[in-house]
A and B are shown apart, each in its own frame.
Chain A
Amino acid sequence: MPLLVPPAPSGTTFTTTRPAGPAPVPPAEIPPERLLYEETLPGGAGWSWSLRRHLTLRLTALENGANVSLICFNRHDLVDRYNMADTLKGQHTAKLTAGYILVSDMGRAMLSITGDTLGWHDAISGHDNAGIVRQKWGERSYQAARNEWFQNSRDHFLMELGKHGLDRRDLVANVNFFSKVTADDEGVMHYVPDHAKAGDFIDLRAEMDLLVILTTCHHPLDTAESYSPKKVKLQLWRSDPPGPGDWCRKYRPENERAFFNSEVLYI
């Protein structure tokens, strides 16, 4: 086994050269021999999963305007978790798309975005909660509406966290896949309605063993007229492990060093 040594210190500027050429395009249809698991989540659902290193989680919007709010943790050390600021400032970006990685607060690459049909996923706006949903669309209780009740991301995050021995202290800043929020020169945030179209997908390759928690509730800034969270398909597939020249690893020098920090976990 070759000796693992830290990659060179470099590339702290905004103008770092990125790999030449476009991002590799993952197969639109996952080869059947690589597909391991498939599930359709209704809108307004919560989900958690132990995602093994180097498997890829594909999220596919099944309806226009889908949203997936996501947080993730080191499966073996739950205090090591997704960190919004380290992810954004390390890669000089406020949005996520192919090439970027999600970084933990221990400097580790957690998920690499190896495929993306959309080009922009929101990393700054947080998740919705009962108050936001009530303010926009009113209230619909389980007693009155059974499975047609109004649900929200915060409640689902807390329920899924609780299943893994975690609580409010662990509800970190999240990512919103399939949603777009821009900021203008004054810093004012603008939500783009119906950013995702049915069929858009994103591939997230685990770079370490993870606990992934996600919800298919509305984006907190969603301007939809009625409460209508959208269906999302989840697929787990056996992707190739990242080699030394992997596109996400080489996307920025920072990424290479974050990959190293994950790989030393498996010595």
Chain B
Amino acid sequence: MSTLNYTESPLAPEKAAYRHKIPAGDFWIHKITAGQSVRIVDLEGNQAVDTIFYNAGDFAEYYSAQATIRGQRCIYLTTGTKIISSEGNVMLEITADTCGRHDTLGGACACESNTVRYGHDTKYMHACRQNFLMGLASWPGAACHLNKRDIPANINFFMNVPVTPEGGLMFEDGVSAGGKYVELKAAMDVVCLISNCPQLNNPCNGWNPTPVEVLVWD
């Protein structure tokens, strides 16, 4: 295991302006205004938190996994990582991280991709992109109709998906644990869409999806 980068946050949970527990397998969509900080807490450990950010005023500007890793020349996300949009703008910056590494290449599970990965008997199981679609369909602030077109490559907070020097993509045991968190400060008004991964086929979470908590500070 290479170096992990740990940085604690000075923000106190009791001073948060907003707190919400996302149940296992559920979605959450919420606006974070410029200057606010959002923390995601992995309450029980190794829970994949699949996350997309949109420009709150223009959903056609969205989180870009490729622009983000290219911008920092590193495939992992951690403290100091600037979250870059499809337009090349900084959306947020990771300001604290007690997990040390997060994935953005592995993407989100979907009913259809589950048929490829695990077999067609998994097609009707709940999946992250079902959550994303529900989140997009329920968001009242969008100026246009949102659908699968608006689901780009996402972040998987608390997941460890190393790329080997030979170009292999591995799924390692989680580097996270109960109580670990990641915190981001918004550089623009964004809408944060989370699917708290319901995946029951992947050993990363021990086949046991668990709740996570989100906190927002002004």
For residue A6, give the distance in angstroms from its CB to the closest CB of chain B: 4
Name, among B67, B107, B116, B152, the residue most crowded by chain A CB atoms within 10 Å (CB to CB).
Answer: B116
Q: Given A86-B113, A90-B117, A124-B69, is A186 in contact with B167 using a C-beta cutoff of 8 Å? A: no
Residues from chain A with a CB closer than 8 A to the CB of B150 are 169
Q: Which residue of A lies closest to B201 (CB)?
A: A12
On whether the beta carbons of A257 and B115 are closer than 8 Å, the reply is yes
Residues from chain A with a CB closer than 8 A to the CB of B59 are 169
On whether the beta carbons of A107 and B67 are closer than 8 Å, the reply is no
For residue B23, give the distance in angstroms from its CB to the closest CB of chain A: 24
For residue A104, give the distance in angstroms from its CB to the closest CB of chain B: 8
On whether the beta carbons of B60 and A84 are closer than 8 Å, the reply is no
Residues from chain A with a CB closer than 8 A to the CB of B69 are 124-125, 189
* A240 interfacial by beta-carbon distance below 8 Å: no
On whether the beta carbons of A183 and B147 are closer than 8 Å, the reply is no
Q: Please report the C-alpha to C-alpha distance between residue A195 and residue B112 in the assembled complex, in whole angstroms.
A: 35
Q: Given A8-B119, A9-B121, A258-B116, is A86 in contact with B60 using a C-beta cutoff of 8 Å? A: no
Q: Residue A261 contacts which of B74, B112, B152 (CB distance < 8 angstroms)?
A: B112
* A14 interfacial by beta-carbon distance below 8 Å: yes
On whether the beta carbons of B75 and A187 are closer than 8 Å, the reply is yes
Q: Please report the C-alpha to C-alpha distance between residue A253 and residue B3 in the assembled complex, in whole angstroms.
A: 34
On whether the beta carbons of B169 and A89 are closer than 8 Å, the reply is yes
On whether the beta carbons of B60 and A94 are closer than 8 Å, the reply is no
Interface size classification for chain A: 35 or more
Q: Please report the C-alpha to C-alpha distance between residue A170 and residue B61 in the assembled complex, in whole angstroms.
A: 11
Q: Which of B188-216 contact A (CB under 8 A)?
A: 201
Classify the interface of chain A: helix, strand, loop or mixed: loop
- Top 5 nearest A-B pairs (CB, nearest first) are A9-B119, A85-B107, A126-B66, A95-B167, A107-B112
User: Mind listing 7 A-B residue pairs with CB under 8 Å?
Assistant: A6-B119, A105-B110, A105-B113, A124-B163, A126-B67, A169-B59, A186-B74
Q: Please report the C-alpha to C-alpha distance between residue A187 and residue B72 in the assembled complex, in whole angstroms.
A: 10
| Interface 0/1 of A163-177, CB less than 8 Å to B | 000011111111000
Q: Please report the C-alpha to C-alpha distance between residue A186 and residue B60 in the assembled complex, in whole angstroms.
A: 32
Q: Which residue of A lies closest to B148 (CB)?
A: A79
| Interface 0/1 of A1-35, CB less than 8 Å to B | 00000101110101000000000000000000000
Residues from chain A with a CB closer than 8 A to the CB of B118 are 9, 12
On whether the beta carbons of B112 and A84 are closer than 8 Å, the reply is no
On whether the beta carbons of B64 and A126 are closer than 8 Å, the reply is yes
* A106 interfacial by beta-carbon distance below 8 Å: yes
On whether the beta carbons of B110 and A107 are closer than 8 Å, the reply is yes
Q: Which residue of B lies closest to A120 (CB)?
A: B167
* B88 interfacial by beta-carbon distance below 8 Å: yes
Q: Which residue of A lies closest to B66 (CB)?
A: A126
Beyond the given A103-B113, A105-B129, A183-B165, could you list 17 further A-B residue pairs with CB under 8 A, ordered by the A residue number? A6-B120, A9-B118, A14-B171, A85-B106, A89-B169, A94-B169, A105-B112, A107-B113, A124-B105, A170-B149, A183-B163, A187-B76, A189-B70, A189-B73, A220-B70, A254-B117, A261-B115
Q: Which residue of A lies closest to B129 (CB)?
A: A105
| Interface 0/1 of B45-59, CB less than 8 Å to A | 000000000000001
On whether the beta carbons of B116 and A257 are closer than 8 Å, the reply is yes
A residues apposed to B, CB below 8 Å: 6, 8-10, 12, 14, 79, 83-86, 88-90, 92-95, 103, 105-108, 120, 124-127, 129, 131, 167-174, 182-189, 220-221, 254, 257-258, 260-261
Residues from chain A with a CB closer than 8 A to the CB of B112 are 105-108, 261
Q: Please report the C-alpha to C-alpha distance between residue A221 and residue B69 in the assembled complex, in whole angstroms.
A: 11
Q: Which residue of A lies closest to B87 (CB)?
A: A168
Residues from chain B with a CB closer than 8 A to the CB of A174 are 66
Residues from chain A with a CB closer than 8 A to the CB of B107 are 83-86, 88-89
For residue A56, give the distance in angstroms from its CB to the closest CB of chain B: 22
On whether the beta carbons of A189 and B110 are closer than 8 Å, the reply is no
On whether the beta carbons of B117 and A172 are closer than 8 Å, the reply is no
On whether the beta carbons of A261 and B116 are closer than 8 Å, the reply is yes
On whether the beta carbons of A85 and B168 are closer than 8 Å, the reply is no
Q: Which residue of B lies closest to A168 (CB)?
A: B60
For residue B177, give the distance in angstroms from its CB to the closest CB of chain A: 20
Q: Residue B70 contacts which of A8, A172, A221 (CB distance < 8 angstroms)?
A: A221
Residues from chain A with a CB closer than 8 A to the CB of B149 are 79, 169-170
